[in-house]
A and B are shown apart, each in its own frame.
Chain A
Amino acid sequence: MSKIDLVLRELHRSENSLARTLLLMADRHRAEHEVFHVARDIAGWSQEHVERIVACAERRGLHISRSASAGAPAVVERVVQRASTAVTSRPETGLLLLADLRRLHRKAAGVSLDWEVLAQAAQAMKERDVFELASSCHPQTLRQMRWANAQLKVHAPQVIAS
Chain B
Amino acid sequence: MRVDATSAGLSGTSGSDRIARPWGDRTPYGPGDEWPARTDVFLADGIGADDVERWVRTASVLHSNGDAMDIAVAGGRIVGVRGRAEDRVNRGRLGPKDLYGWQANNSPDRLRRPLVREGGRLVETDWDTAMARVVSRTRELLDARGPSAIGFYTSGQLFLEEYYTLAAIGHGAIGTNHMDGNTRLCTASAAAALKETFACDGQPGSYTDVDHADVIALFGHNAAETQSVLWSRILDRLAGPQPPRIVCVDPRGTPVAQAARSGGVHLAPLPGTNVALMNALLHQIIANDWVDQEYVDAHTVGYAELRDRVAQCPPEWAAQVCRVPAEDIRAAARVLGTAERLLSTVLQGVYQSHQASAAAVQVNNLHLIQGMLGRPGCGILQMNGQPTAQNTRECGADGDMSGFRNWSNGAHVTDLARHWNLDPFQIPHMSPPTHAMQIFRNVEQGTIALLWVSGTNPAVSLPELPRIRSVLARPFLVVQDIFLTETAELADVVLPAATWGEKTGCFTNVDRTVHLSDKAVEPPGEARPDLDIFLDFARRMDFRDRGGLPFPQWHDAESAFDAWAASTETRPCDYTGLSHARLRAAPSGIQWPCNAEHPDGTERLYGDGRFFSHPDECESYGRDLVTGAPLDLTEYRALNPDAKAILKAAEYLPPHEPIVDEYPFALITGRTLYHFHTRTKTGRTPQLQAAAPDVWVECSRADAARLGLDEGDLAEVSTARGSIRARARIGGIRDGVLFVPFHYGYWDTTDDAHDRAANELTPTDWDPVSKQPLFKTAAARITRVSPATGPAPAPTTAASYPVTAGVPPTAGATAETRGARR
What 5 A-B pairs have minimum CB-CB distances, sorted nearest first?
Answer: A162-B447, A150-B629, A147-B627, A161-B148, A146-B629
Per DSSP, chain B at the interface is loop
A32-B441, A89-B445, A143-B624 known; A149+B430 contact, CB < 8 A: no
List the B side residues contacting A44 at CB < 8 Å. Answer: 653
Contact with B along A72-94 (1 / 0, CB 8 A): 00000000000000001111011
Residue of A with least CB distance to B470: A89
Query: B148 and A150: CB pair below 8 A?
Result: no
Contact with B along A129-146 (1 / 0, CB 8 A): 000000000000001101
CA distance A147 to B623 in the complex (A): 10
List the B side residues contacting A2 at CB < 8 Å. Answer: none
**Within the complex, what minimum Cβ distance (angstroms) separates A132 from chain B?**
14
Can you list 30 A-B contacts (CB < 8 A)? A33-B764, A33-B765, A33-B766, A34-B766, A38-B768, A42-B626, A42-B627, A44-B653, A89-B446, A89-B474, A90-B446, A91-B445, A91-B446, A91-B447, A143-B627, A149-B629, A150-B627, A150-B628, A150-B629, A150-B630, A153-B430, A154-B432, A154-B438, A157-B430, A158-B434, A158-B442, A158-B447, A161-B145, A161-B148, A162-B148
CA distance A37 to B774 in the complex (A): 12
Residue of A with least CB distance to B474: A89
Contact with B along A26-50 (1 / 0, CB 8 A): 0000011110011011101000000
CA distance A151 to B430 in the complex (A): 12
CA distance A40 to B768 in the complex (A): 13
CA distance A90 to B431 in the complex (A): 22
List the A side residues contacting B765 at CB < 8 Å. Answer: 33, 37
Residue of B with least CB distance to A148: B629
CA distance A5 to B442 in the complex (A): 47
List the A side residues contacting B766 at CB < 8 Å. Answer: 33-34
CA distance A116 to B609 in the complex (A): 39
Query: B629 and A162: CB pair below 8 A?
Result: no
Q: In the complex, given contacts A34-B771, A157-B428, A162-B149, what are 18 additional A-B residue pairs having Cβ atoms less than 8 angstroms apart?
A: A32-B441, A33-B764, A34-B437, A34-B628, A37-B656, A37-B765, A38-B626, A38-B628, A91-B445, A91-B447, A94-B447, A143-B626, A146-B629, A150-B628, A154-B438, A157-B177, A158-B148, A161-B447
CA distance A149 to B431 in the complex (A): 11
**Within the complex, what minimum Cβ distance (angstroms) separates A53 from chain B?**
20
List the B side residues contacting A143 at CB < 8 Å. Answer: 624, 626-627, 629
**Within the complex, what minimum Cβ distance (angstroms) separates B453 from chain A?**
19
List the B side residues contacting A149 at CB < 8 Å. Answer: 629
**Within the complex, what minimum Cβ distance (angstroms) separates A6 from chain B?**
31
CA distance A151 to B624 in the complex (A): 13
CA distance A149 to B630 in the complex (A): 10
CA distance A51 to B418 in the complex (A): 55
Query: B629 and A88: CB pair below 8 A?
Result: no
CA distance A33 to B441 in the complex (A): 9
Interface residues of B in 428-461 (CB under 8 A from A): 428, 430-432, 434, 437-438, 441-442, 444-447
Interface residues of B in 612-637 (CB under 8 A from A): 624, 626-630
User: Interface residue count for A (Cβ, 8 Å)?
Assistant: 30
A32-B441, A33-B764, A157-B431 known; A147+B629 contact, CB < 8 A: yes
Q: How large is the interface on B (under 10, 10 to 19, 20 to 34, 35 or more residues)?
A: 20 to 34
List the B side residues contacting A154 at CB < 8 Å. Answer: 431-432, 438
Contact with B along A102-125 (1 / 0, CB 8 A): 000000000000000000000000
B263 within 8 A of A: no
A32-B441, A89-B445, A157-B430 known; A146+B624 contact, CB < 8 A: yes
CA distance A146 to B621 in the complex (A): 14
List the B side residues contacting A144 at CB < 8 Å. Answer: 627
List the A side residues contacting B653 at CB < 8 Å. Answer: 41, 44
Query: A93 and B445: CB pair below 8 A?
Result: yes
CA distance A33 to B766 in the complex (A): 8
List the A side residues contacting B36 at CB < 8 Å. Answer: none
Query: B624 and A147: CB pair below 8 A?
Result: yes
List the B side residues contacting A32 at CB < 8 Å. Answer: 441
B787 within 8 A of A: no
B146 within 8 A of A: yes
List the A side residues contacting B626 at CB < 8 Å. Answer: 38, 41-42, 143
**Within the complex, what minimum Cβ distance (angstroms) separates A60 from chain B?**
26
Most buried by B among A32, A146, A158: A158
CA distance A14 to B756 in the complex (A): 49
List the A side residues contacting B474 at CB < 8 Å. Answer: 89
Residue of A with least CB distance to B763: A33
List the B side residues contacting A90 at CB < 8 Å. Answer: 445-446
CA distance A82 to B146 in the complex (A): 32
**Within the complex, what minimum Cβ distance (angstroms) separates B564 from chain A?**
28
Most buried by B among A37, A144, A149: A37
Interface residues of B in 410-439 (CB under 8 A from A): 428, 430-432, 434, 437-438
List the B side residues contacting A40 at CB < 8 Å. Answer: 656
Interface residues of B in 129-165 (CB under 8 A from A): 145-146, 148-149
CA distance A147 to B630 in the complex (A): 8
CA distance A150 to B629 in the complex (A): 6
CA distance A13 to B630 in the complex (A): 29
Query: A146 and B627: CB pair below 8 A?
Result: yes
CA distance A116 to B677 in the complex (A): 52
CA distance A94 to B448 in the complex (A): 13
Residue of B with least CB distance to A147: B627
CA distance A42 to B629 in the complex (A): 12
Most buried by A among B145, B441, B765: B441
List the A side residues contacting B428 at CB < 8 Å. Answer: 157
List the B side residues contacting A88 at CB < 8 Å. Answer: 444
Most buried by B among A41, A94, A162: A162
CA distance A70 to B656 in the complex (A): 19
**Within the complex, what minimum Cβ distance (angstroms) separates B392 from chain A?**
21
CA distance A30 to B441 in the complex (A): 12
CA distance A65 to B626 in the complex (A): 30
Most buried by A among B442, B627, B768: B627
CA distance A158 to B428 in the complex (A): 12
